[in-house]
């Protein structure tokens, strides 16, 4: 594990130079760099960029509507709806490539998923604010598998109880981050802006246990 992959002061259990697990204070994550080769990651990036009908959602914060600073698209089973920041969204049907990726991730992680939220960060000005994926639709202690394609971006965690407790990863092209246990109930995460970053697509595979 090199310093460039992880900055923080948690105990880290290195599985290999490119894989590590952090399990402490409710944070429970596993990061695998080069989960797919750069060649495959670049190919998937190009396919998704052209095949998905990207949307820019609105969120309501303190009664004011804002456009999210990224584009996104949500796929899942036909019965699914999801409420996020007072917006209820209906899942779009699965497309071939996300379904193939889902199956590959299920095999690698041993966890089953039934939906994916795909985010497209057009450049370093796009971002994802502090939040936790702790909606009731995801059940208790959800497992979320997050595949990164394209530009490297920082990924920060902070404890919900004590915002001064923070940890930071760099999510690289072709990497897979798995978050589980109490990660969503006890921690928040965000992707800050990054000057002059190129474009990036992130897929977070989730298992919805109920509709909203």
Q: Which residues form the interface with ligand AKG (CB under 6 A)?
A: 117, 119, 128, 133, 146, 148, 155, 171, 189, 191, 202, 204
Task: Please count the CA atoms within 13 angstroms of the CA of 202 that sit on its side-chain side.
Answer: 27
Residue placing its CB nearer to Mn ion in the complex, 12 or 132: 132
Task: Please count the CA atoms within 13 angstroms of the CA of 113 that sit on its side-chain side.
Answer: 29
d(CA 175, CA 30) in angstroms, rounded, equals: 11
Task: Please count the CA atoms within 13 angstroms of the CA of 129 that sit on its side-chain side.
Answer: 7
Closest contact distance (angstroms) between CB of 63 and ligand AKG is: 23
Closest contact distance (angstroms) between CB of 113 and Mn ion is: 14
Residue placing its CB nearer to ligand AKG in the complex, 11 or 195: 195
Report the residue number whose CB is nearest to Mn ion: 133
Site string for Mn ion, 160-179 (x = CB under 5 A): --------------------
Closest contact distance (angstroms) between CB of 86 and ligand AKG is: 16
Give the count of residues interacting with Mn ion (CB under 5 A).
1
Among Mn ion, ligand AKG, none, partner that 188 touches (CB below 5 to 8 angstroms by kind): none
Contacts of Mn ion in 95-154 (CB under 5 A)? 133
Residue placing its CB nearer to ligand AKG in the complex, 19 or 188: 188
Closest contact distance (angstroms) between CB of 204 and Mn ion is: 6
Q: Name the strands in the sheet holding 166-171, side by side, starting at the edge strand that comes first in the sequence.
A: 6-7, 166-171, 153-159, 187-191, 128-131
Closest contact distance (angstroms) between CB of 206 and ligand AKG is: 9
Residue placing its CB nearer to ligand AKG in the complex, 19 or 187: 187
Among the residues of the chain, which ranges form H helices? 38-51, 96-109, 183-186
Pair 55, 179: CB distance under 8 Å: no
d(CA 110, CA 136) in angstroms, rounded, equals: 23
d(CA 212, CA 210) in angstroms, rounded, equals: 7
Closest contact distance (angstroms) between CB of 170 and Mn ion is: 17
Residue placing its CB nearer to ligand AKG in the complex, 105 or 171: 171
Per the listing, tokens 């089953």 go with: 112
**Nearest residue to 152 (alpha-carbon basis) of 130, 129, 131, 169:** 169
Residues in touch with Mn ion (CB under 5 A): 133
């Amino acid at each position: 594990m090199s310093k460039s992959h992880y900055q923080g002061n948690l105990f880290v259990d290195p599985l290999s130079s490119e894989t590590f697990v952090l399990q402490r204070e409710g944070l429970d994550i596993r990061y695998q760099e080069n989960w797919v080769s750069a060649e495959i990651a670049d190919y998937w990036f190009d396919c998704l960029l052209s095949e998905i009908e990207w949307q820019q959602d609105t969120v309501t914060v303190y009664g004011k509507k804002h456009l999210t600073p990224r584009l996104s698209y949500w796929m899942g089973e036909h019965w699914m709806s999801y409420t996020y920041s007072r917006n209820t969204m209906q899942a779009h049907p699965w497309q071939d490539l996300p379904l193939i990726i889902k199956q590959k991730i299920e095999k690698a992680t041993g966890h089953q998923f039934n939906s994916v939220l795909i985010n497209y960060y057009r450049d370093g000005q796009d971002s994802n604010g502090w939040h936790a994926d702790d909606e009731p639709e995801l059940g208790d202690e959800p497992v979320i598998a997050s595949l990164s394609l394209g530009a490297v971006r920082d990924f920060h965690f902070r404890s919900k109880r004590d915002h001064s407790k923070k940890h930071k990863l760099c999510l690289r092209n072709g990497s897979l981050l798995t978050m589980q246990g109490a990660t969503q109930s006890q921690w928040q995460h965000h992707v800050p802006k990054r000057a002059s970053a190129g474009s990036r697509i992130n897929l977070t595979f989730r298992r919805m246990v109920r509709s909203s």
